[in-house]
Amino acid sequence: MKVNPVWKTNYQSQLSLLPPSYDDFISANHPVRLVNSILDRVDISSIERTYKGGGTSSYHPRVLIKILIYGYLRNLYSSRKIEQALAENIHFMWLSGGAQPDHNTIANFRSGRLKGKFKQIFNQVVLLLASEGILHIKDVYVDGTKLEANANRYTFVWGKSIKTSRARISKQLKELWAYVETVYAEEEQRPNEPDNFDAVDPDQVAKTIDSINQALSGKQVDKKIKQKLGYAKKNWPEKIAKYNYQEKQLGGRNSMSKTDPSATFMRMKDDHMQNGQLKPGYNFLASTNNQYLVNYTLGQTTADTTLLKDHVEDLVESYQQTPDTLTADAGFGSEENYTDLEAKGIEAFVKYNYFHKEQQDQKKGKVNPFAANQLYYNKDTDTYYCPMGQAMRYVGSYQKKTKTGFVQTLHRYQAQNCKGCSLRSLCHKSKYNRIIERNYNLSRLKAKAKNLLTSEKGIEKRK
């Protein structure tokens, strides 16, 4: 005897006396409830003040913020896809209370009223988590990563290319004037030479071209020169103006994207092409505690070292308090960063270059007796001694600036006579007597960092 299968009841066509609530379909521990709970406690009065009274009703900014943040949590960034989710996704419906703003409303709110205020909301959420004891702002871990910008990879501007193009125009202006001089070579009269040939100001370039045209007026001029002058008058001033504008956008960087001028071309870690190609992006610096994001900043340079100072200042400004400790890898271990953290009273568990190599060499008993930091130093006489016992006397100091403008002071010491020394080939490769340079401030800061990193607390943080 065949037994028929039993199907579960389908209520699609059955009417309900009381319609079900959206809340019935949201589990108690679903992330959407957490987003809703936290954002209900955030102060958004600065956004509310941007709305004028009267007129037609508006969607409440708190609802729009909830929609956007939950959309980001679900990897939805397109305003059209968020609009679609509001009509199809039960979690979005519950969060918005049934409100369904269209994509234009969402996009205009994000790029308009929310612009410049999102970080304030982020900071409030962090402070709420801190008040609950979930994280601590006083102890942060910093690291950086490259993020690819949402920009065209093939529309780029290079700083070196601008300089090359300027130099080429300057050179061609000089060549055109050289032609003028050949035309006047057999005449006693000489034309008035333009003030300069630098391709910096568009008006000056136009003036120089006019001077050349005026000097050649009424003369027998080569056809190609006429064509070149016509092209120059029409295009070069405009090009110089464009280069000036692009240089202003670059702001000292080497590159930028035309479709997103804030983005700089960088090598990304997750290069799917595996060929190290440059892509427009940002250097994203993050401070964390207990695996929660505490602060973030976007940098336009590829080196992490140059971004830490601004990142820490942003953190201090955001919460009006300075962290007690900061932990970071060797990408941030520079004299400028150590000095800044020390000035702020922050205990810096920050590695420096060769920290790990030093530790490994120490375990293996490897010591280079010829390294400058291994030479014996007599503090009373300010003298170093090489492995052969020869004195290396102080010969002066100098200062140099880093790319960020930080001033370093280096002291120089020179041996008196390296000629005929049996250890010379092991000691140095210079043709002259050996000179060493010592940065005492950096040496002090590195020693301080090493003591912290090798302490019990430091070992725990490094893990």
- Quote the CA–CA distance of 201 and 166 in Å, as a whole number: 10
pLDDT recorded at residue 40: 94
**Predicted confidence (pLDDT) per residue in 204-219, tens digit:** 999 888 888 888 887 8
**111 within a domain of the structure (yes/no):** yes
Do 101 and 35 share a structural domain?
yes
The predicted model gives 232-249 an average pLDDT of 94
Do 332 and 310 share a structural domain?
yes
**Do the Cβ atoms of 162 and 254 come closer than 8 Å?**
no
**10 within a domain of the structure (yes/no):** no
Q: Which of 331, 350, 369 is the last residue of a domain?
A: 350
Residue 207 tokens, joined: 């003036």
Do 177 and 104 share a structural domain?
no
**Predicted confidence (pLDDT) per residue in 35-91, tens digit:** 999 999 999 999 999 998 888 899 999 999 999 999 999 999 999 999 999 999 999
**1 within a domain of the structure (yes/no):** no
Residue 190 tokens, joined: 């000489």
Instruction: List the strands of the sheet with 435-438, edge to edge.
Output: 376-378, 383-385, 391-401, 407-415, 435-438
Domain range spanning residue 171? 157-250
User: 266-290 burial, b for 16+ CB within 10 Å, e for fewer?
Assistant: bebeeeeeeeeeebbbbbebbbbbe
Q: Which amino acid belongs to residue 291?
A: Q
pLDDT at 270 over 70: no
- Tell me the C-alpha to C-alpha distance, in Å, between residue 430 and each of 384, 400, 413, 436: 18, 22, 14, 11
Do 167 and 97 share a structural domain?
no
Do 224 and 196 share a structural domain?
yes
**Predicted confidence (pLDDT) per residue in 10-48, tens digit:** 877 877 777 788 888 999 999 999 999 999 999 999 999
DSSP 421: -
Q: Which of 350, 382, 408 is the last residue of a domain?
A: 350
pLDDT recorded at residue 463: 84
Do 274 and 184 share a structural domain?
no
The predicted model gives 414-422 an average pLDDT of 87
**Predicted confidence (pLDDT) per residue in 112-164, tens digit:** 999 989 999 999 999 999 998 999 999 999 999 998 898 888 889 999 999 99
Rg, the chain, Cα only: 33
**14 within a domain of the structure (yes/no):** no
pLDDT at 378 over 80: yes
When pLDDT is cut at 50, 70 and 90, the band that residue 271 belongs to is low
Task: Please list the residues that pair with 297 across neighbouring strands.
Answer: 285
The predicted model gives 408-417 an average pLDDT of 92
- Quote the CA–CA distance of 90 and 96 in Å, as a whole number: 10
- Tell me the C-alpha to C-alpha distance, in Å, between residue 328 and each of 7, 58, 316, 352, 406: 60, 45, 17, 10, 20
What percent of the chain has pLDDT above 70? 98
Q: Count structural domains, the chain.
A: 4
Q: Is the dihedral of CA 322, 325, 327, 332 positive or negative?
A: positive
Do 313 and 271 share a structural domain?
yes
Do 382 and 340 share a structural domain?
no
Give the closest residue to 144 by CA, choosing from 31, 2, 281. Answer: 281
Q: Which of 321, 350, 379 is the last residue of a domain?
A: 350
**Do the Cβ atoms of 295 and 314 come closer than 8 Å?**
yes
